């Protein structure tokens, strides 16, 4: 009998057991994200096999605060990324780099750019920070756009109903990256068509590394801003509503949570319907057919997530940090 050390059931406001549901219950278990037994250093893309997965550094107007994200270089001067990385400021705020108006996005294709170089870009013009090793960003933004329906956008929904589908931004940069060539034909391809069956994919990202089972994180070291890669299988490509319907069924998936809902009261939330409950039982049956018996199932505290995990595996441990 095979066993899983732990099954982490991540459930956002609109998804539950997404990694299982999205693969449409395959006949054979596919690859999974880099397991917890792999140390963070072993996942670093040291040979720069994915240079178009770029590390983003986002600086505020005062030049005294900033953040990091990961983006995708889709042509020599344009990076695609998530709106929540930049929607704390209006798009027009990212318009230059001068004292008092430092808001800007920089990016690097270097997989080991590192914490010190990142901090020097963000703060080095106005503050005394440690100097890096002379590596500099590939480009600095000259324009930023993001969907106004995003988390902090001007057209956001009061209940965040459009956050996931609107979480998209692009930035244009001052310097072309020869990595992709100068003509549009050499730009990176983007997949918008439905996928047929399971497709192996590589997941990449810059940022803090850690262990999802223990909650431990690496911080304050150079590899806090290294690119790491993982493997997975993609079995579905569609809109947020289609995913929600596939997981929860018609009644629960057609809508988001109503205004005034509370996490502690299931009656105020959107819950599973009969189709959603049947889907949860099929998930459990598939695991059983593969000889997989989780020793622990961790779930988001949302009632529909707890019910999904309980119907599939018999019990669930709600975890507020899962969300």
For every residue of 206-223, DSSP letters joined together read ES--B-TTT--B--SSGG
* Residue 241 in domain: yes
- Exposure string of 263-293, with b = 16+ CB inside 10 Å and e = fewer, is eeeeeebbbbbebbbebbeebbebbeeeeee
289 and 196 fall within a common domain: no
Whether 55 and 199 map to the same domain: the answer is yes
Based on the fold, state whether residues 221 and 115 are members of the same structural domain. yes
Tell me: do 144 and 285 sit in the same domain: no
Among candidate residues 210, 234, 258, the one where a domain is terminated: 234
- pLDDT at res. 241: 62
State the Cα–Cα distance between residues 224 and 105, nearest whole angstrom. 18
Do the domain assignments include residue 203? yes
Q: Out of 234, 255, 277, pick the residue that ends a domain.
A: 234
Nearest residue to 54 via CA among 96, 113, 102: 113
191 by Cβ neighbours in 10 Å (0-12 / 13-18 / 19+) ranks as exposed
- Could you say which DSSP state residue 144 is in? E
Domain contains 31: no
CA dist., res. 253 & res. 157, Å (int): 18
Apex 211 CA angle, 210 and 213, nearest 5: 155
Which of 106-120, 121-135, 146-160, 236-250 has the lowest average pLDDT? 236-250
> What number is the average pLDDT over the span 102-117?
95
Within a domain: residue 141? yes
| Continuous segment of H or E residues that includes residue 240 | helix 240-253
Phi then psi dihedrals of residue 254, to 5 deg: -75, -20
Task: Tell the residue number behind the tokens 């669930």, with chain if given.
Answer: 316
Q: Measuring CA to CA, which residue among 126, 130, 128, 85 is closest to residue 222? A: 130
The pLDDT value recorded for residue 10 is: 29
**Residues with Cβ < 8 Å from 83, sequence gap 6 or more?**
146, 147, 150, 151, 153, 166, 167, 168, 169
pLDDT tens, residue by residue, 34-57: 666 777 788 899 999 899 999 999
Residue 94 near residue 86 (C-beta atoms within 8 A): yes
298 and 313 co-located in one domain: yes
Whether 186 and 279 map to the same domain: the answer is: no
Query: Do 115 and 161 belong to one domain?
Result: yes
In this structure, is residue 254 part of a structural domain?
Answer: yes
Mean pLDDT of the residues in the chain: 78
- Does 188 lie in the same domain as 88? yes
Question: Rounded to two decimals, what is the model's pTM?
Answer: 0.67
> Does residue 190 share a domain with residue 140?
yes
Query: At 305, is the secondary structure helix, strand, or coil?
Result: helix
Identify the pLDDT of residue 22.
28
Percent of the chain, pLDDT > 90? Answer: 35
Mean local confidence (pLDDT), 157-176: 78
Q: What's 193's domain CATH number?
A: 2.40.10.10
256 and 125 belong to one structural domain:
no
For residues 208 and 154, membership in a common domain is answered with yes
Confirm whether 104 is domain-assigned: yes
Are residues 241 and 294 both part of a single domain?
A: yes
Beta strands in 150-276 (DSSP E): 169-173, 199-206, 227-234
What is the pLDDT at residue 180?
62
Q: Which residues pair with 58 in a beta bridge?
A: 67, 105
Tell me the residue range of the domain where 316 lies: 2-26+237-322
CB of 45 within 8 A of CB of 111?
Answer: yes
Q: For residue 322, give both structure tokens.
A: 């899962």
In Å, what is the CA distance from 243 to each residue of 68, 106, 163, 265, 298? 28, 33, 15, 24, 21
Q: Over 70: is that where the pLDDT of 164 sits?
A: no
What is 276-302 written as a DSSP string? HHHHHHHHHHHHHHTTEEES-EEE-SS
**Count of structural domains within the chain:** 2
Higher per-residue pLDDT: 266 or 212: 266
- DSSP bridge partners of 221: none
Euclidean distance between the first and final Cα of the chain, in Å? 32
Q: State the average pLDDT over residues 24-30.
A: 33
Q: State the Cα–Cα distance between residues 100 and 102, nearest whole angstrom.
A: 6
206-242 pLDDT tens trace: 987 766 666 677 777 898 899 999 888 887 776 666 6
């Amino acid at each position: 009998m095979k066993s899983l050390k732990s099954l982490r059931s991540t459930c956002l406001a609109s998804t539950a057991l997404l990694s299982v549901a999205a693969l449409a219950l395959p006949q054979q278990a596919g690859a999974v994200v880099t397991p917890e037994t792999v140390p963070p250093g072993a996942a670093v893309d040291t040979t720069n096999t994915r240079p178009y997965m770029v590390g983003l550094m986002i600086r505020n107007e005062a030049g005294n605060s900033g953040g990091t994200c990961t983006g995708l270089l889709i042509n020599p001067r344009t990076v695609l990324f998530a709106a929540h990385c930049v929607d704390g400021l209006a798009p027009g705020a990212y318009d230059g780099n001068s004292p008092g108006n430092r808001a800007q996005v920089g990016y690097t294709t270097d997989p080991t750019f590192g914490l010190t170089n990142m901090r020097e870009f963000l703060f080095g013009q106005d503050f005394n920070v440690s100097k890096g090793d002379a590596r500099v960003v590939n480009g600095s933004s000259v324009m930023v756009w993001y969907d106004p329906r995003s988390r902090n956008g001007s057209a956001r929904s009061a209940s965040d109903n459009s956050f996931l589908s609107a979480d998209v931004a692009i930035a244009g940069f001052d310097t072309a990256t020869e990595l992709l060539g100068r003509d549009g034909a050499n730009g990176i391809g983007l997949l918008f068509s439905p996928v047929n069956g399971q497709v192996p994919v590589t997941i990449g990202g810059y940022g803090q590394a850690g262990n999802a089972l223990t909650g431990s994180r690496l911080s304050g070291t150079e590899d806090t801003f290294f690119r790491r890669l993982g493997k997975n299988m993609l079995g579905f490509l569609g809109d947020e509503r289609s995913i929600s319907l596939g997981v929860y069924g018609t009644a629960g998936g057609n809508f988001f949570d109503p205004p005034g809902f509370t996490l502690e009261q299931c009656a105020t939330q959107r819950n599973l319907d009969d189709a959603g409950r049947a889907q949860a039982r099929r998930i459990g049956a598939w695991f059983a057919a593969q000889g997989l018996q989780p020793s622990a199932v961790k779930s988001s505290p949302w009632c529909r997530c707890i019910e999904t995990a309980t119907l599939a595996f018999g019990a669930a441990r709600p975890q507020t940090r899962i969300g």
